[in-house]
C-alpha cells in the first residue's frame, strides 16, 4: 500500500456546512462528469432514424414556422435583418437552453438508480445534460453559418465573446436545473410544471421578437430575465448587425451567477436525503 | 509506517440513522404539503419542530475495523445491515454520529449500476467503471482483463439490451471486481438468487482479503461468516448486540437466541402468514432409530419427522414440509397436495409421521418449515423455521471425508466405469 493512499481520510457526518463544497473531490471525480455527459450524448439519438440531425431539425422547423407566421404574416420587426436569420439565431441558443434545462430538471429523479446505489458527487447528474447539449448546439450552428453565408453576414471581432455567452447560458440552465431537480426529488410536481414553465419562459424572452418592440417599462422588466441579455448578446456577436449591449449582458451575467451558486447551495443542502426519498 | 497506518481503517462512532415512517410515499406533492398545513396547522408546526413518526434503523452503533481485517456483519432482515452499508458507501447520510474511513471504498452492492441498455458492452464498461470511481487510465489498463473475465468478448460491440441476463450480470460483476479498493463492501443479501454470482462475489472477497485489504461482509448466513471472517458484529433492531470471534462469541450468542426462539412451543410461535387455524401444529420432532434427536444427525441414516397436530373441527388437509439449508436454499419441498393426497381429521390430536430414507444431506444446519393446507389457497397453519437440526457429518464412503454444505448441497449415489475406445 502506498503512503499516498494511507494518508486518505474521509469523514462521514450528518450535515455539511453550508459552504462546504468539496472542490477537491469534484476535481478528483471530474472524469466522471465527462463520462456522464458523453453517455447523454451517446444515448440521446440511439435507435432513431434521423440520429443527430434532430439537433438541427428542431430549431430549423421552428424557425421556418415562425418565419412564415411572424416574419411573413405578422410583419414582426427584426432589427433590420432577415427575420429567418433573426429568429434562427435566437432559437439556436433557446433550443440549447430548453433541452439542457428539461434534461437537467428531470435528471435526479430519472437517475434514481444511480442515486440509491452508488456514491458520486450528486451535482454531476444535473450538470451532465447541460454539457451534453453543447454538442447539439454546435451541430445546429452549422445551419446558422450556412444562412450567414447565404445572407452575406460576416461576424465581427465581437464573436470572441461567443464562448462566454454560451458558458453563461450553460451556467444558467445548470443553476435552474440544480434548483428544480433537487425540488423534484421531494415534489414530483416539477415534472409537470417544467414544460409549462419553459413554454412561458420562451414568450418572455426575446427569442423570436426583438426587445425594442416593447415599451420602455416592459423592456426594463424583461432585462431581469437573464436570458434577455444572453439572447441579445448572442445575436449581436454572431451577426454584428447591432453593437453588443454590455450593460444588459452584465446584468444577465450577475443574475445567472446568483442562480447558479444558489442552486449549488440548495442542492448541497438537500442532497443528503436524495437516496432516502428518490 | 506512519502513525496514521496504526489507526483503524474504519471508525464508526455513535452512528444513528432515522427514517420517517407512516407515509406510503416518501415524496410529496406541493398540494399535500399545502393542504395539510391548512387543515392541521398545529400538527404541521409540530412536524416542523421534529416530532414526526420516525423509526431508528440504526441507533448508537460503534465499532472499529483494523487494516486487513475481514469483518462480518450478521443480522436478520430489517436489523439495519443494509442501512449501515449504505452509510458506509456514502449513498445516504447518518442522522447522528460519524464515520472516519482511511482508505478508498469500493463495493459489490452496486453491480450493474449505470449500465445503459442502449449502450454497447464496451461503452458500458467505461461508464460503469467511471461511476464506480475508476479513472479512465485505470479502466484502459484493465480493459482486456475485464473483458476476458466476463467472457463476452464476442458481443463487446452489441448493445447490452441484446445480452442475456446472465451475460449482463457477468459483465457488470467483472467491472466491479476489477476495482481495487482498500476497503471492500460486500452485501451477500443482494447476491442471493444467482448461486454462481454469489460464489463469484465470495471468491473475489476471499482474494481481496488474502491481499491484506479490508473487507466488510454483510450476511444473514452464519456459515459464510464463519468461513470468511475473522471477526463478526451482530446487529439487531439497529443496535450492536455482540462483537467477537465468529466461531466462539458470536456462535454462543446466536445459539442463545436460537434456544430462546426454539424453547417456545410451536403452538405459541408467531405465524408469518394468514392462517385459519381450524387445526394447529403443536409440535415437531425428529426421530432417528426410534429415539428423539435433539442435537445432530448422521447424514447416512434414515430419519423421521414427527408432526403433532390438533384438529378443532372436522377438516380435510394436506401436510407440507420444506427443508432449507444454511443459505436458505430449499432442499426438499414435500406436499401431499403434489401427490393429491389429503387426510381427513375429526377433532382431536394426531401424530403425522414423514419418513425420510437415507437422504445423504451434507453436513451443516437445516431448518424445517411446516404447514397444513387445504388446496393451494388456504393455509390452516404455517410455521416458518419451526425446527432446526444439524447433520453432524456425511461420511459416505467411511473414509473420514465428510461432505459439507460448502462442497455440495447433498449427495447423489453414483458410480464410475471406464470403457475402452469410443
SS3 string, A6-55, reads HCCCEEECCCCCCCCCCHHHHHHCHHHHHHHHHHHHHHHCCCCCCHHHHH
pLDDT at A7: 62
Q: How far is B197 from chain A (nearest CA, A)?
A: 18
* Mean pLDDT along residues B327-332: 78
Q: Which residues contact B89 (CB under 8 A, 6 or more apart)?
A: A118, A119, B105, B107, B109, B110, B185
pLDDT at A20: 59
In angstroms, the CA A182 to CA A270 distance is 7
pLDDT at B35: 67
pLDDT at A19: 53
Residue B192 in this model has a pLDDT that exceeds 50: no
Of B28, B98, B119, the CB nearest to A13: B98
Task: For residue A36, list chain B residues with Cβ-Cβ distance below 8 A.
Answer: 127, 130
Domains of chain B with CATH codes: 3-16+58-256 (3.40.50.300), 266-393 (2.70.50.60)
Instruction: Quote the ipTM score.
Output: 0.79
Residue of chain B nearest A2, judged by CA positions: B1
Residue of chain A nearest B185, judged by CA positions: A118
Q: Which residues contact A128 (CB under 8 A, 6 or more apart)?
A: A33, A36, A37, A39, A40, A107
Q: What are the CB-based long-range contacts (under 8 Å, 24+) for B405-410?
A: B405/B223, B405/B325, B405/B326, B405/B327, B405/B362, B405/B363, B405/B364, B406/B223, B406/B227, B407/B362, B408/B362, B409/B325, B409/B329, B409/B331, B409/B362, B410/B331, B410/B359, B410/B360, B410/B361, B410/B362
Of B102, B110, B132, the CB nearest to A9: B102
Q: Which of A112-121, A199-208, B411-420 has the highest mean pLDDT?
A: A199-208
- E strand map for B290-363: 291-292, 296-298, 303-311, 315-325, 330-335, 343-345, 348-356
The residue that leads in pLDDT, B49 or A129, is A129
What count of other Cβ atoms lies within 10 Å of the Cβ of residue A135?
17
* Mean pLDDT along residues B376-387: 85
**Interchain pair A31, B116: CB under 8 A:** no
pLDDT at B49: 45
In angstroms, the CA B14 to CA B129 distance is 33
**pTM for the full model?**
0.74
Residue A199 in this model has a pLDDT that exceeds 80: yes
**Interchain pair A10, B182: CB under 8 A:** no
In angstroms, the CA B160 to CA B163 distance is 5
Reported confidence tier of residue A3, pLDDT bands at 50, 70, 90: very low
Taking the Cβ of residue A112 and every Cβ of chain B, the question of whether any pair is shorter than 8 Å is answered with no
Candidate from A5-19, B29-43, B281-295, B387-401 with smallest mean pLDDT: B29-43
Q: How far is B187 from chain A (nearest CA, A)?
A: 12
- The per-residue pLDDT for range B84-138, each reduced to its tens digit, is 988 998 888 899 999 999 888 887 766 667 788 888 999 999 988 888 888 889 9
pLDDT at A150: 95
Q: DSSP assignment, residue B329? A: -
* Mean pLDDT along residues B147-174: 86
pLDDT at B249: 80
pLDDT at B300: 81
Tell me the residues of chain A between 220 and 259 that have a Cβ less than 8 Å away from chain B. Answer: none
Task: For residue A188, list chain B residues with Cβ-Cβ distance below 8 A.
Answer: 27, 29
pLDDT at A5: 46
Of A8, A114, A117, the CB nearest to B103: A8
**Interchain pair A118, B132: CB under 8 A:** yes
pLDDT at B168: 83
Greatest CA separation found in chain B?
A: 90
Residue A160 in this model has a pLDDT that exceeds 90: yes
pLDDT at B2: 47
Taking the Cβ of residue A4 and every Cβ of chain B, the question of whether any pair is shorter than 8 Å is answered with no
Residue A16 in this model has a pLDDT that exceeds 60: no
In angstroms, the CA B88 to CA B362 distance is 36
The residue that leads in pLDDT, B386 or A145, is A145
pLDDT at B1: 44
Reported confidence tier of residue B195, pLDDT bands at 50, 70, 90: low
Residue A97 in this model has a pLDDT that exceeds 60: yes
Residue A156 in this model has a pLDDT that exceeds 70: yes
pLDDT at B24: 43
Alpha carbon A239 to its chain's center: 21
**Interchain pair A187, B27: CB under 8 A:** yes
Reported confidence tier of residue A88, pLDDT bands at 50, 70, 90: very high
pLDDT at A15: 63
B contact test, residue of A3, A9, A14 with most B CBs within 10 A = A14
What count of other Cβ atoms lies within 10 Å of the Cβ of residue B187?
23
pLDDT at B50: 46
DSSP β-ladder status, B315-325 and A10-12: unpaired
Residue of chain B nearest A185, judged by CA positions: B27
Task: For residue A42, list chain B residues with Cβ-Cβ distance below 8 A.
Answer: 118-119, 123
The residue that leads in pLDDT, A28 or B216, is B216
What count of other Cβ atoms lies within 10 Å of the Cβ of residue A215?
9
- The per-residue pLDDT for range A215-248, each reduced to its tens digit, is 888 888 898 999 999 999 999 999 988 999 999 9
Residue B302 in this model has a pLDDT that exceeds 60: yes
- The per-residue pLDDT for range B224-270, each reduced to its tens digit, is 788 788 899 988 888 998 888 888 888 888 777 777 777 788 888 87
Average pLDDT over all residues of chain B: 81
Amino acid at each position: 500500500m502506498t503512503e499516498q493512499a494511507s494518508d486518505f481520510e474521509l469523514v462521514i457526518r450528518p450535515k455539511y456546512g453550508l459552504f462546504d463544497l468539496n472542490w477537491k473531490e469534484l476535481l478528483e471525480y471530474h472524469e466522471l462528469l465527462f463520462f456522464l455527459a458523453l453517455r447523454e450524448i451517446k444515448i440521446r439519438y440511439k435507435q432513431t432514424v434521423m440520429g443527430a440531425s434532430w439537433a438541427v431539425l428542431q430549431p430549423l422547423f421552428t424557425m421556418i414556422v415562425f418565419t412564415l407566421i411572424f416574419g411573413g404574416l405578422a410583419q414582426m420587426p427584426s432589427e433590420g435583418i432577415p427575420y429567418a436569420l433573426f429568429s434562427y439565431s435566437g432559437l439556436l441558443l433557446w433550443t440549447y437552453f430548453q433541452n439542457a434545462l428539461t434534461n437537467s430538471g428531470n435528471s435526479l429523479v430519472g437517475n434514481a438508480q444511480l442515486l440509491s446505489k452508488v456514491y458520486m458527487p450528486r451535482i454531476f447528474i444535473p450538470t451532465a445534460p447541460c454539457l451534453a447539449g453543447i454538442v447539439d448546439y454546435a451541430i445546429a450552428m452549422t445551419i446558422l453559418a450556412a444562412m450567414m453565408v447565404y445572407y452575406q453576414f460576416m461576424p465581427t471581432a465581437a464573436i470572441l465573446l461567443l464562448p462566454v455567452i454560451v458558458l453563461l447560458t450553460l451556467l444558467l440552465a445548470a443553476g435552474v436545473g440544480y434548483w428544480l431537480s433537487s425540488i423534484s426529488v421531494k415534489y414530483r410536481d416539477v415534472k409537470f410544471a417544467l414544460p409549462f414553465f419553459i413554454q412561458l419562459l420562451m414568450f418572455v424572452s426575446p427569442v423570436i421578437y426583438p426587445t425594442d418592440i416593447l415599451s420602455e417599462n416592459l423592456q426594463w422588466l424583461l432585462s431581469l430575465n437573464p436570458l434577455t441579455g444572453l439572447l441579445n448578446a448572442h445575436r449581436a456577436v454572431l451577426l454584428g448587425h447591432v453593437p453588443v449591449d454590455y450593460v444588459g449582458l452584465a446584468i444577465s451575467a450577475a443574475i445567472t451567477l446568483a442562480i447558479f451558486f444558489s442552486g449549488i447551495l440548495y442542492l448541497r443542502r438537500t442532497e443528503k436525503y436524495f437516496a432516502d426519498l428518490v | 509506517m506512519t502513525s496514521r497506518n496504526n489507526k483503524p481503517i474504519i471508525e464508526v462512532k455513535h452512528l444513528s440513522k432515522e427514517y420517517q415512517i407512516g407515509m406510503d410515499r416518501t415524496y410529496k406533492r406541493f398540494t399535500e404539503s399545502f393542504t395539510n398545513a391548512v387543515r392541521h396547522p398545529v400538527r404541521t408546526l409540530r412536524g416542523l419542530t421534529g416530532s414526526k413518526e420516525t423509526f431508528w434503523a440504526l441507533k448508537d452503533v460503534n465499532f472499529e475495523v483494523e487494516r486487513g481485517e475481514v469483518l462480518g456483519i450478521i443480522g436478520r432482515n430489517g436489523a439495519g445491515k443494509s442501512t449501515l452499508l449504505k452509510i458506509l458507501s456514502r449513498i445516504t447520510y447518518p442522522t447522528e454520529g460519524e464515520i472516519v474511513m482511511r482508505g478508498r471504498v469500493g463495493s459489490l452492492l452496486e453491480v450493474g449500476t449505470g449500465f445503459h441498455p442502449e449502450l454497447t458492452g464496451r461503452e458500458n464498461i467505461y461508464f460503469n467503471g467511471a461511476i464506480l470511481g475508476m479513472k479512465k487510465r485505470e479502466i484502459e489498463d484493465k480493459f482486456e482483463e475485464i473483458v476476458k473475465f466476463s467472457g463476452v468478448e464476442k458481443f463487446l460491440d452489441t448493445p447490452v439490451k441484446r445480452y442475456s441476463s446472465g451475460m449482463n450480470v457477468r459483465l457488470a460483476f467483472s467491472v466491479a471486481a476489477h476495482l481495487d479498493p482498500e476497503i471492500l463492501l460486500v452485501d451477500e443479501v443482494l447476491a442471493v438468487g444467482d448461486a454462481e454470482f454469489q460464489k463469484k462475489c465470495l471468491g473475489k472477497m476471499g482474494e481481496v482479503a488474502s491481499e491484506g485489504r479490508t473487507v466488510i461482509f454483510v450476511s444473514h448466513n452464519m456459515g459464510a461468516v464463519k468461513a470468511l471472517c475473522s471477526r463478526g458484529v451482530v446487529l439487531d433492531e439497529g443496535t450492536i448486540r455482540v462483537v467477537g470471534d465468529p466461531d466462539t462469541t458470536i456462535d454462543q450468542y446466536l445459539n442463545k437466541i436460537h434456544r430462546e426462539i426454539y424453547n417456545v412451543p410451536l403452538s405459541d410461535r408467531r405465524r408469518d402468514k394468514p392462517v385459519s387455524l381450524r387445526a394447529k401444529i403443536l409440535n415437531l420432532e425428529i426421530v432417528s432409530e426410534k429415539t428423539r434427536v435433539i442435537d445432530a444427525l448422521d447424514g447416512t441414516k434414515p430419519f423421521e419427522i414427527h408432526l403433532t397436530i390438533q384438529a378443532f373441527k372436522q377438516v380435510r388437509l394436506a401436510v407440507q414440509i420444506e427443508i432449507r439449508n444454511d443459505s436458505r436454499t430449499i432442499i426438499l419441498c414435500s406436499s401431499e397436495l403434489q401427490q393429491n393426497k389429503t387426510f381427513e381429521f375429526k377433532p382431536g390430536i394426531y401424530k403425522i409421521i414423514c419418513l425420510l430414507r437415507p437422504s445423504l444431506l451434507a453436513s451443516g444446519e437445516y431448518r424445517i418449515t411446516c404447514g397444513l393446507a387445504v388446496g393451494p389457497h388456504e393455509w390452516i397453519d404455517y410455521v416458518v423455521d419451526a425446527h432446526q437440526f444439524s447433520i453432524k457429518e456425511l461420511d459416505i464412503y467411511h473414509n473420514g471425508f465428510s461432505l459439507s454444505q460448502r462442497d455440495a448441497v447433498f449427495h447423489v449415489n453414483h458410480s464410475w466405469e471406464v470403457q475402452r475406445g469410443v
